[in-house]
Every structure is written in C-alpha cells, then in structure tokens.
Amino acid sequence: MKKLIVLFVVLVIAACTSSTRTSSSGSTAKTNNYKRESNAMRPAFMIYHSSDTISELHFKIASKELLYMRPDAINFSSNVLISYKLVNNYESKEILDSGSVRLVDSNNEGLEKYLIGKMNFKAIFPKSYYLRVTVTDLNRNSSYKTTLAVDKASMLSRQNFLVRSKQDEAPVFRNYLKLEEQVQIQYRMASSMSLFVRYYNRTFPLAAPPFSLTDPQPFQYKADSTFVLQLSDKGTVDFTMNKDGFYHFVLDSTKRDGLTLFHFNDAFPEVKTADAMITPLRYITSREEYTALTSSTNKKADVEKFWLECTGNMERAKEVIRKFYTRVNDANVHFSSYLEGWKTDRGMIYLIYGSPNTIYRTANTENWIYGDASNINSLQFMFVRVDNPFSDNDFSLERSGNYRQQWYMAVDVWRQGRAYLQD
C-alpha cells in the first residue's frame, strides 16, 4: 500500500491576477459533481477573508486523482491549472476579478499525497459574491468546475475563521473533527476578543420519504451548554474536540453567525461499524426489520444475513453491500450539514436513486433529473437551500405525494438485491 504524504508546499510555476470589468459567459448551471467516476478529480476548497479587501481561496488536491507524466524523460510530474472568476451573483456575466495558478509536482516514487495551497482574490467588505473555480489536469485534459458562495457581508460569518491542524499547521478542509483532534482557530482580526461557544448534542431523525408531507420539527437553538474561549492578541485560540455533537463559535453572543465544528464518529465519512451499517437501512426496511437489526446481539452477522436474503447468494450480496455503502460514504462527503450527509434530503435521494443524470443549479436550488433532461416524464427532485446558522450546505426537498409509487419501486429493487440505477 502506498504511503499517504501531505505536501503543504506546492511549486507555483506561473500565476496571474487581474481586476476587470469585461464580460464573459455566465455559468450554465448544468453540472453534476456528485457523479462517481474513476480517476475524477475531487478537489476541496475553502474561503477565508483575511482583510476587508482580500480573500483567500484555499485548495487541496489528491495526487492519486492527477495524471503524472514524464515530459522531460526524467521526472514524473503533474501539471495542474487552477483559475477563478469573481462575479456579483450566480448568473452574472460581469467579472470583477480573475486569476490563475499553475502547479507542477514531481512524484517519481509514486507516493500518495495532497497538493495544498492558496490564491488571493479581491473581494470588498461588506458584500456577497460568487467565485467560479476551474481545476484543469493539463496532462489528462480534464476539468473540474464549481461555484462557491463568498459571504463577505458580515465580519461574523464562518468564512472569517480559518481552522488549522495543530499537528501539521495545514488548513482543515472539513467541518468535522475526530475525538481528541486538536486544531487552531484563526479569526481574521488580530485582536484578543472573547469567542462564545455553544455546544449541542442532539439526535436528529433521518429524512422523511419524498412523498411525506409532514412538517419537520423546528430546531431548538437553546444550547446544551455554553462556555467562552479567549482569542490571543493574534486572533487565535486552540480547540480540542472532546465530545460527540457540535460546537458553534460566535463573536457576538446575541447572533447566530459563526463557525461550527462537528463530531459524528471517528470513521466518518466512511462506514466501518455494524451500527453505522444498520442506520441507513431504515430507508429500505420495515419497522419490524429495523427494530430487529438495532436490537440484535450480533449486528454484523444480521446485517450480512439481511443482504444475503435480498440477493440470494454471497457474491451478489458483497457487490450490493459495496454499492449501497459507497453511496452512504459519498452522501456523507457531499451533503453533510448539521447532520450526516446520508440523513439529509439530498443524501436520501442519492442513496436510493444514485447520482442524477443532470443537475441544474441556481444560487439557492438544485434540480436533480433522472433520465433525459428534455423528457417531461423524467423523474425530478427540487432542493431548496435552507438558511442554517450551522451550515451553508443544508437543502430541503420539495416533497410531493406523487413520489410514493416511484419511491416504493426503487426500494423494492434494493430489496430484490439490486442497486437501483447503476453509478
């Protein structure tokens, strides 16, 4: 097995930044970054507002997702171009700022590592923007595109905080930590201020089926406990994740804008325990079956038995288990908010139906289409962004009773031992 190396210094071959008011084609909003493809790039991004005029785009790319070639007959090297365009709104054609950076990494030993770096861009406080980012593997001639919300309207929002690992000082590109993981929280201003912390330890139900019209219970914002951390004169404070649940860090105790760090379980986003394998099965089991699984004295054996009874033989069971829990893992990666990704509305649909054929995005919606996008009879799900103080990745499904028959048909396919729609 190859050893994983984290590379915090990347070789910058060329970079440019320009401020411009020229026009460019707007975002088509037709994309699907949730589709699992071999050798596909899945870069991670994070935005941090370092001043009133400058913001930082931090990036992280896995070397195993890049093609290393030997153009000089000596070194195997990657060749990556990262570019951005800053716009006023999601559909805007007017570019406020743009820039690019080219990365070359030599890797003759074939080690697995991460390429981590940052780019500065010009964004003026107080205002919100969108950042269109393209990462191109020039060796493979393939690209990854995404649009990131830039929330610079407030000095209290999560993008005013930068979280770094105490172990290696690298930025943390996730909002969840392992128990006893130590990080340093950096606020944008070098000032010894009080950081108010609200702790929550809640058990959230998984998403209701798409045909359910029951209103969800409102979140109770009263914290289970509170305490105060003191920022240093450099605006930093150390923090250790020592409990299940999540911590909400705010500079103004009367407001909800701030940074949130979560602990789901130490294996997250992967599924490695029998308990973690059982809970997603609630979508495709009866109440009696689920109760029997959760109360079992040998949960691992009973999970395997459930899938074996669905498929009829061990080889098929192994394949269906792999596909089902790969979707759970991917849902955790893509859709986690204040709860695990597979429990969310988008995670539920992704788990049962797989990745959609087409996604149409706006600033606050995602329209998932299964089948031909031009066919009015294709299955569609509309998700709307929820204003959530703990996460900007919370979307709610527009439910309808019309989904009932299609939902039960998809569940029945799983119970027959087949993955509904191939990934």
What's the pLDDT at 180?
A: 96
Rounded CA separation 149/89 (Å): 9
Rounded CA separation 80/67 (Å): 9
Give the other-Cβ count within 10 Å of 209's Cβ. 16
157 backbone dihedrals φ, ψ, rounded to 5°? -70, 170
**Structure-token pair, residue 181:** 């993981």
Give the other-Cβ count within 10 Å of 197's Cβ. 21
What's the pLDDT at 110?
A: 84
Multiple choice CATH, 162-263, 3.30.450, 2.60.40, 1.10.30, 2.60.120: 2.60.40
Rounded CA separation 46/259 (Å): 13
Residue 27 or residue 77, greater confidence: 77
The pLDDT tens digits of the residues spanning 218-272 come to 788 899 999 999 999 999 999 999 999 999 999 999 999 999 999 999 999 999 9
Q: Judge whether 4-153 and 162-263 match in fold.
A: yes
Q: Does residue 27 have a pLDDT over 50?
A: no
What's the pLDDT at 22?
A: 45
209 CB-near residues (< 8 Å, 6+ apart): 283, 348, 403, 404, 407
Edge-to-edge, what's the strand order for the sheet holding 142-152?
11-18, 95-106, 77-87, 127-137, 142-152
Count Cα neighbours of 358 within 13 Å in the Cβ-side half-sphere. Answer: 13
Tell me the pLDDT band of 130, cut-offs 50, 70 and 90: very high
**Angle at Cα 342 formed by Cα 349 and Cα 361, nearest 5°?**
50
Please answer whether residues 303 and 361 qualify as being in contact, where contact means their C-beta atoms are separated by less than 8 angstroms.
no
Q: Does residue 118 have a pLDDT over 50?
A: yes
What's the pLDDT at 11?
A: 43
Cα dihedral sign, 287-288-294-300: negative
24 CB-near residues (< 8 Å, 6+ apart): 85, 93, 95
* Least confident stretch, 18-27, 47-56, 165-174, 280-289: 18-27
Q: Does residue 338 have a pLDDT over 80?
A: yes
What's the pLDDT at 3?
A: 43
What's the pLDDT at 191?
A: 82
Rounded CA separation 73/278 (Å): 51
In the predicted model, what is the mean pLDDT of residues 92-119? 93
Rounded CA separation 22/94 (Å): 6
Its pTM stands at 0.90
Give one word for 71, left, alpha or beta, with left for phi > 0 and alpha for psi -120 to 50.
Answer: alpha
315 CB-near residues (< 8 Å, 6+ apart): none
Tell me the pLDDT band of 15, cut-offs 50, 70 and 90: very low
Q: Does residue 423 have a pLDDT over 70?
A: no
Tell me the pLDDT band of 34, cut-offs 50, 70 and 90: confident
Residue type, 332: N
Q: What percent of the chain has pLDDT over 90?
A: 80
In the predicted model, what is the mean pLDDT of residues 289-314? 94
Please answer whether residues 130 and 60 qualify as being in contact, where contact means their C-beta atoms are separated by less than 8 angstroms.
no
What's the pLDDT at 14?
A: 41
In the predicted model, what is the mean pLDDT of residues 29-40? 72
Rounded CA separation 142/227 (Å): 48
Q: Could you tell me the CA-to-CA distances from 46 to 150, 244, 332 in Å, in that order?
A: 10, 24, 18
Report which of 349, 374, 348 is spatially closest to residue 360, judged by C-alpha positions. Answer: 374
Mean predicted lDDT score pLDDT of the chain: 90
Rounded CA separation 197/255 (Å): 12
**Structure-token pair, residue 212:** 């359910």
In the predicted model, what is the mean pLDDT of residues 274-286? 96
In the predicted model, what is the mean pLDDT of residues 339-361? 95
What's the pLDDT at 10?
A: 44
What's the pLDDT at 75?
A: 87
**Structure-token pair, residue 87:** 């716009």
Q: Does residue 7 have a pLDDT over 80?
A: no
Helix axis angle for 314-335 and 345-353, nearest 10°, is 150
End-to-end CA distance of the chain: 26
Tell me the pLDDT band of 159, cut-offs 50, 70 and 90: very high
Multiple choice CATH, 4-153, 3.40.50.10890, 2.40.37.10, 2.60.40.10, 3.40.50.300: 2.60.40.10
Tell me the pLDDT band of 26, cut-offs 50, 70 and 90: very low
In the predicted model, what is the mean pLDDT of residues 374-396? 93
In the predicted model, what is the mean pLDDT of residues 33-46? 83
Return the domain boundaries, the chain.
4-153, 162-263, 274-415
DSSP string, 168-186: T--B--SSB--TT-EEEEE
